[in-house]
Amino acid sequence: MTAKGRKGFPWLLGGLVGLALFGWSPLAAAQQPPRPVGGEVSTWNWDGLSLEVAPLPIEPATAFFSNRGFPYKKAIKLAQNGCIFRSAIGHDGKKASDPPVHINVADWSLKIGGVVRAYRTKEEWLARFEKDGVPEEARIAFQWATFPTRQTFQAEDYNWGIHAFDLPPGTTFDLTVVWRYGKDMKQVVLKDLKCSVDKAQNEPKK
């Protein structure tokens, strides 16, 4: 889902629910703007793409998952080891003539301690949940809360959703973001993102 005419991206902290393919041309590397100083929310705007990301604390993530059908132990495990981020992503253009922005998060990748790993798409998570016996209502809630795997944005469009990076608490990683701006492929590396280190309350004893 997208929205128009924003003044700023909405956030997911209180409620997370609410939540083509083109030929490849040579990558045109984007120059990353200076990283913001202070706070957990990181914002970038370049080459048509607006992006805001922040780690979601483990306690509200646990509450969200457990209140939407995940068994409590599975909710804690996902909140603690899923490395859940909230995001608002869209097109920073103002003119209808601006080229569209196309995103496929399956093209994104993570780098942890020098090791590159693919982004976990919602389809991969849902297949894992089904195999693990997670109830259907929980899988549906996760599907709607997670950022779409593929999306096209016109000027002033945006969307929001969570990203589950599947990393332990406190892990620091680099995220390579890839998108198409009109006919040109773009990418940028967002360095030193960090998974939340908060602890879920009432963690079951081992």
Residue 129 in any domain: the answer is: yes
Residue 6 in any domain: the answer is: no
Enumerate residues 6+ apart whose C-beta is below 8 A from 72. 66, 204
Residue 109 in any domain: the answer is: yes
Query: What is the rounded (10 degree) CA torsion for 23, 25, 31, 33?
Result: -10
For the stretch 108-166, pLDDT in tens is 999 999 999 999 999 999 999 999 999 999 999 999 999 999 999 999 998 999 999 99
Residue 184 in any domain: the answer is: yes
Question: Whole-angstrom Cα distance, residue 155 to residue 95?
Answer: 6
For the stretch 94-107, pLDDT in tens is 999 999 999 999 99
Q: Which residues of 113-127 are buried (b: 16+ CB within 10 A; e: fewer)?
A: eeeeeebbbbeebbe
Instruction: Count structural domains, the chain.
Output: 1
Residue 3 in any domain: the answer is: no
For the stretch 34-50, pLDDT in tens is 443 333 777 777 889 99
The DSSP code for 47 is T
Question: Whole-angstrom Cα distance, residue 125 to residue 161?
Answer: 15
Residue 60 in any domain: the answer is: yes
User: Minimum mean pLDDT among 12-16, 89-93, 135-139: which range?
Assistant: 12-16
CATH code, 134: 2.60.40
What pLDDT score does 198 carry? Answer: 67
What pLDDT score does 46 carry? Answer: 80
Domain span holding position 155: 27-31+39-193
For the stretch 155-202, pLDDT in tens is 999 899 999 999 999 999 999 999 999 999 999 888 899 999 865 444
Question: Whole-angstrom Cα distance, residue 192 to residue 88?
Answer: 19
Residue 201 in any domain: the answer is: no
Residue 7 in any domain: the answer is: no
Q: What pTM was estimated for this model as a whole? A: 0.78
Enumerate residues 6+ apart whose C-beta is below 8 A from 191. 35, 174
pLDDT band at 4 (very low <50, low <70, confident <90, very high): low
